[in-house]
Amino acid sequence: MSRWPSRFFSARTFLGVFAAISLAAVLTGCSVFRREAGADPDRDTLTVEVRNQNYYDVTLHAIDGGARERIGVVTGNTTRTLTFRWQRIDLAFQIDLIGAGTYLTRSLPVSPGEVLQLDIRPDLHRLPQGTRIGE
C-alpha cells in the first residue's frame, strides 16, 4: 500500500498544479519587467562610482532612515560602477568591509539620474567600527 492514497496524488493532478504554478510565475515575471511606453529608464536610478582603495572587499548598502538596499560588492583595490534604483530624497552609504567592520557615510540629498563618487580610504579599517565618515 502506498503512503498517499492515489486519489490525492496522481500524476495528472501533479502536472495540473505544476502547470498552473508555472503559468502564474511566468505571467508575474512578465508584468514585473514591463515598462510604460516612452518611460525614461533612468527615472529612478542613481549611479555610484566606487573607488575601493582598501585591501578589504566591500559590500555597499544604500540607506535612508529605516530603508536599506544592498547595492553590490566591490573587490579590494579596484574601481566599480554600480547603478541602482533609489526613490528617496536622502542617501547615505553603509560600507561593510568584509571581515573588518561597518562604517556609515553622512546623508546627502540626491536627485534621480545623478552620478556619485565614493572613495573608500586605504586606512578605513583602522577607524573604530561604526564611525560615521564625512561629518
Q: Which three cell numbers stand for residue 22?
A: 508555472
Query: Mind listing the pLDDT tens digit for each residue in 69-123?
Result: 999 999 999 999 999 999 899 999 999 999 999 999 999 999 999 999 999 999 9
Has residue 40 been placed in a domain?
no
User: 33-79: per-residue pLDDT in tens?
Assistant: 444 444 555 578 999 999 999 999 999 999 998 889 999 999 999 99
pLDDT at 135 over 80: no
Is 21 in the same domain as 87?
no
Are residues 69 and 127 both part of a single domain? yes
Range of the domain at 28: 1-34
Regarding pTM above 0.85, the answer is no
Asked if residue 124 and residue 62 are part of one domain, the reply reads yes
Instruction: Report if residue 14 sits inside a domain.
Output: yes
CATH number of the domain bearing residue 127? 2.60.40.2890
